Amino acid sequence: MRVLGIDPGLTRCGIGVVDGRPGRPPDLVGVDVIRTPTELDTARRLRRLEEELDGWLAEHRPDTVAVERVFAQHNVQTVMGTAQAAGVAMLVAARRGIPVATHTPSEVKAAITGSGRADKAQVTAMVTRILRLAAPPRPADAADALALAICQVWRGGTSARYESAGDSAAEAARRQRSALARARAQAGTGRSGASPTVPPVNVRPRRVS
């Protein structure tokens, strides 16, 4: 399964692609951060974001797109831009017929670290370990996008598999938790088999001119 994770934002939009399957640590395919010029009006910035995201979909052809679910924040202006960027991401995926999944930050944290209250540093550290990277993805938007993609591989993949097998909701949830625990344990102990050589990941946000 190939998943493209999107941490939506109008100023910075994190994007990350991983290949994997439930119960096993996934592999990094690509990661980046898109910036749009603040001097442009909102409509043009969203158009630039749409073009960049569509290019990633065309290049990597993911099976699913995972987008962070927008939640209320104190800064209304910030949450508006985030919601607009999330809408563009879902539209671009839908236009290509790619399924879209959304996850709250707490769902992603729980899938990656085992705790829905983990901080950004803990999430970044686990993403680095799970993907067997030589260095943490920077900036945080890049790590968050990869965390979303990993969450979808582990949570979305296990849910679909167990539902297709006819498990009850409770049994599917139990099996899903067991699969997540195994995957985190394998990532922490290096029992996932031979790991590919991955160069240090230090993303420089790309400004879309």
What pLDDT is stored for residue 159 in this prediction? Answer: 46
At 77, is the pLDDT very low, low, confident or very high (cuts 50, 70, 90)? confident
The residues that are catalytic are: 7, 68, 141
What pLDDT is stored for residue 158 in this prediction? Answer: 46
Contact residues for 193 (Cβ-Cβ < 8 A; gap 6+): none
Q: Is 63 annotated as a binding residue?
A: no
Q: Is 141 annotated as a binding residue?
A: yes
Residue 122 has pLDDT above 80, yes or no: yes
pLDDT tens-place string over residues 192-205: 433 333 444 556 55
- Is 64 within 8 Å of 101 (Cβ atoms)? yes
Looking at the DSSP bridge assignments, the partners of residue 101 are 66
- What distance in Å separates the CA atoms of residue 66 and residue 46, rounded to the nearest whole number? 19
Mean pLDDT of 115-133: 96
- 3 state DSSP class of 49: helix
Mean pLDDT of 126-135: 97
Cis check for the bond before 26: say yes or no (omega within 30 of 0).
no
Domains of the chain: 2-191 (3.30.420.10)
Q: Is 68 annotated as a binding residue?
A: yes
pLDDT tens-place string over residues 139-180: 999 999 999 999 999 998 544 443 444 555 555 556 556 666
- What distance in Å separates the CA atoms of residue 95 and residue 89, rounded to the nearest whole number? 10
Residue 184 has pLDDT above 80, yes or no: no
At 76, is the pLDDT very low, low, confident or very high (cuts 50, 70, 90)? confident
